[in-house]
Amino acid sequence: MILDDNLNIVGETLFNDEKLLANNAFVAKEGLYISLNHTDNSKNNEDYLTFQLFELSDVTNEN
């Protein structure tokens, strides 16, 4: 869920629960990093901490 300065919801994205470990995440200037070290992720390597970067982008509704 993406919130603005007044805590209004401005966006929301659902993620694949079998790949991402959402309770291991951090925000950097590049965007939101979420861990790929979920135990059900077939590409999980316990020897490494791996993250996927999610970048915010503007979306315009053209209705």
Other beta carbons less than 10 A from residue 34's beta carbon: 20
Residue 17 has pLDDT above 90, yes or no: no
pTM over 0.75: no
Whole-Å CA distances, 58 to 38, 41, 47, 55 = 29, 30, 36, 10
Res. 44: pLDDT tops 80: yes
For the chain, the structural domain boundaries read 16-54
Distance of CA 7 to the CA centre of its chain: 19
Top pLDDT among 34 and 60 is at: 34
Q: Give the other-Cβ count within 10 Å of 57's Cβ.
A: 7
The rounded distance, in Å, linking the Cα atoms of 30 and 55 is 7
Q: What percent of the chain has pLDDT over 90?
A: 41
